[in-house]
Amino acid sequence: MKPDDIIAKQIKTQALQAIQDLARIFDIQDVAYFKEYEIIREGICRAIGEIDTSLLLTIYQKYPELDDLKEKSK
């Protein structure tokens, strides 16, 4: 594996972990009753969307072998 491939795989792994970590905020007990919930929810969704479109989409376009979903649809 080339150095760029290794780095791309690490970026993918960290980006997916960041998405999972952000999504766990919704698992906090009673978070929906938090006074600022709608603002927090919107921010989390924007952050996840940005990670997905800016980081992961770039990685998958340049390194299609890292796109797990593409492989499953074959």
Q: If you average pLDDT over every residue of the chain, what do you get?
A: 93
For 7, the token pair is 């780095």
Buried b / exposed e along 33-67 (16+ C-beta atoms within 10 A):
eeeeeeebeeebeeebeebeeebbeebbeebeebb
Confidence grade of residue 1 (pLDDT, cut at 50, 70, 90): confident
DSSP class of 28:
S
In angstroms, the first-to-last Cα distance of the chain is 23
Q: pTM of whole model > 0.95? A: no
- Express each pLDDT in 29-62 by its tens digit: 999 999 999 999 999 999 999 999 999 999 999 9
How confident is the model at residue 46, as a pLDDT?
A: 98
